[in-house]
Structure 1
Amino acid sequence: MRANSYVLPVVVSLLFHGLLIAVLGFGWEATEEPERTMPQFVQAKLVTVDATVKKKKAPKKVDLREKRRQQELERQRKAEAEKKRRAALERKKKAEAEKKRKAEAERKRKAAEEKARREKERKERERREQRERERQSAFDEALEDEEELLDAREDAQAVMSIAQAIQQRIEAVWSLPPSARNGMVTEVRISFVPTGRVVAADVTESSGNAALDRSVLNAVRKVEVFPEVKDLAREEPALFEREVRTTRLIFRVEGLRQ
């Protein structure tokens, strides 16, 4: 638009100057006046106008092949950039997936270690408890054995005491026959009931002297009831049943003057 605005003034100016030159030339030839120099301001104006005149440039010719080549290069550049972007995104996804995998593997490893530690502690605790139970059991067994031994000793002492009491009562009423001799031994078996009464008596080992054997049995029948046996049966019925209900006693002839 700006270039077109200069065209008309330039054309008018050229026509005006052309006309002016023609008039001056025609006048010069008609009057044969001396040659005059064109006013400096006119020439200056023409120079100025000529200097300001611009020619309209022709449209630049477009190279389609170069344009296509540039477009192809741009397309390749964008495709390469997209490829790099996708590759970077894929690497990021893989890195995140690997990070998650390692984190999960570490979690599982720690969980397995914790489980193994707890299992080890549980087994160790069970072993300690088992050893403690075994020690306690051994202690209880030893204590029980000791108690049983003590009980057995006490029972033995009680039975021995009862047997001595029974034998003393029998010997207190025992009358030796004239045929008795020192060293003769008679063994008898006596059966009691819980009241301490004798219900049976017989010779289990004879002295070889029938009169001596009968004398022992006669002494047992004379006593008939033994209070010690009755007390034991009342206080320790199990011991009575096990050790005293049937009692064996040995009577030995000693201290006779021959």
Structure 2
Amino acid sequence: MRAGSYLVPTILAVLLHGVVIVLLAQSWFEHHEEVRKTPRHVQAQVVDLKSQAARKKAETEAKAKERARQQRLADEQKKREAEQKRQQALKEKQAAEKRKQEQAKQRAAEEKKRQQAAKKKAEQEKAKKAAAEKQRKAAEAKRQAEAKRKQEAERKAAEAKARAAKEKAAREAKEAAERKARNEALQRAMEAEEAALRAEEERASAMSYEAYVVEMITRNWRRSPSARNGMVVEVTVHLLPSGRVNDRYVSRSSGDSRFDNDALRAIDRVGVFDKLQEMDSAVFDRYFRKRVLRFRPEDLRD
């Protein structure tokens, strides 16, 4: 033990002995007096300074450890959120790459099919022309007189065939364009429906958390005597993903500063809306990153 821990008890002991000696001396030199003296009582208390310092040190260390634990939990939460965002971005990138590859494959298959059809058509045309030419030459050898008439008939037939082929190609192109337009319209409708469903789900989720926020603030609301029905104050609240209030201010006053300050104090008493940590980050950013709350005396308890 340190020498300082004995100092106070030693001083008290010396004082106690001094008082006893003074009392005894008076009885020795004044023995002729028969008056009985009432001894004084001295109270001494030993104070253990070392144990007090140790307790203070332990309390300080405990507080520091608690602050460190809270900071560590906050850091871990941030890391988890960052990892979730990174995984989501990676999934979206992979899905986009996959769609691009599928579209490229589809275009390549369509181009190959078109080339094969064109080649086949050219071969058929070539074969037909060869047969017609052979027939024409045979008929010319047999019937010289009919050569001119036959040539005219073949020319008309070729023109009619070309017109038919052109009309067919135009009809097929039109049908293909119509099919493509229908497919694109269907795709857009499906995407719009999915977006509407997602928006509705996000809105429903936000409404459930809205009720939680209002309930937490209502618990901490204290209605001032100056509050009157019909008064409305709007308070803009900036929140962090952890649910902590980052900022709050009156964006539209009720006209009664005391009522306005009561609304701000109700938010300050909550401090952190812990349940908001469970929200999807996209829903939080859309509905709760910056939120306008309206306070009416008739909606809150006294």
TM-score, normalized by length of structure 2? 0.48
Q: Distance in 1 between matches of 2:299 and 2:283?
A: 34
What does residue 133 of structure 2 align with? Answer: none
Where 1:150 maps in the other structure, the secondary structure is: helix
Q: Which amino acid aligns with 1:118?
A: A
> Counterpart in 2 of 1:141?
188
1:122 and 2:169 are equivalent in the alignment: yes
Matched letter for residue 261 of structure 2? R
CA deviation vs aligned residue, 1:159-194 (integer Å, no higher than 9, x gap): 222222211111111111222222221111111122
Counterpart residue type for residue 212 of structure 1: F
Contact 1:182 1:255 in 2 (8 A): no
AA aligned to 1:148 is A
Q: Which residue of 1 aligns with 2:128?
A: none
Q: Secondary structure at the match of 2:272?
A: coil
- C-alpha deviation, 1:256, in angstroms: 8.1
Please report how far the alpha carbon of residue 247 of structure 1 lies from its aligned counterpart in structure 2 after TM superposition: 0.6
- Of 146, 159, 164 in structure 2, the residue corresponding to residue 112 of structure 1 is 159
**Alpha-carbon distance between aligned partners in 2 of 1:255 and 1:105, rounded to the nearest angstrom:** 96
Give the direction of change, closer, same or farther, for the CA distance of 1:241–1:257 in structure 2 (3 Å limit): closer
The one of 245, 253, 258 aligned to 2:297: 253
The one-letter code of the counterpart of 1:247 is: R
Mapped contact 2:239–2:246 kept (Cα < 8 A): yes
Contact 1:189 1:202 in 2 (8 A): yes
How far is the alpha carbon of 1:248 from its aligned partner? 0.8
User: Are 2:237 and 1:190 aligned?
Assistant: yes
Q: 1:130 and 1:249 mapped to 2: Cα distance?
A: 52
User: Alignment partner for residue 282 of structure 2, among 238, 246, 256?
Assistant: 238
Q: In the alignment, is residue 164 of structure 1 matched against residue 208 of structure 2?
A: no
8 Å CA contact retained: 1:182, 1:256: no
Tell me the distance in 1 between the aligned counterparts of 2:202 and 2:244: 21
CA pair 101-221 structure 1, distance change in 2 beyond 3 A: farther
Aligned mates of 1:255, 1:165 — CA distance in 2: 15
Q: How far apart, in 2, do the equivalents of 1:164 and 1:243 lie?
A: 13
> What is the aligned partner in structure 2 of residue 152 from structure 1?
199
Partner of 1:178: 225
- How far apart are the structure 2 equivalents of 1:257 and 1:169? 13
Higher normalized contact order (CA 8 Å, seq sep 6+, divided by chain length): 1
Over 3 Å counting, the alpha-carbon distance change for 1:227 and 1:104 in structure 2 is farther
Q: Say if 1:172 and 1:257 are closer, same or farther in 2 by CA, change over 3 A.
A: closer
Point out where structure 2 has 5 or more consecutive residues left out of the alignment.
Answer: 1-139
* Alpha carbons 1:163, 1:249 under 8 Å: kept: no
Larger Rg: 1
Find the aligned partners of 2:197 and 2:249 in 1 and give their Cα distance.
33
CA distance in structure 1 between the aligned counterparts of 2:245 and 2:284, rounded to whole angstroms: 14
Measured after TM superposition, the shift of residue 257 of structure 1 is 10
The aligned counterpart of 1:215 is 262
Between the two proteins, the alignment pairs up a number of residues equal to: 162
Match for 1:244: what amino acid? F
Separation (CA, whole Å) in 2 of partners of 1:145 and 1:218: 43
Q: Is the 8 A contact 2:236 2:248 kept in 1?
A: yes
Q: Which residue of 2 aligns with 1:29?
A: none
* Equivalent residue, structure 1, for 2:18: none
Residue 206 (structure 1) aligned with residue 257 (structure 2): no
Aligned to 2:273: 226
For structure 1, which runs of at least 5 residues remain unmatched after alignment? 1-91
* TM-align CA RMSD: 2.7
CA distance in 2, matches of 1:217, 1:119: 78
Sequence identity of aligned pairs in percent?
Answer: 30
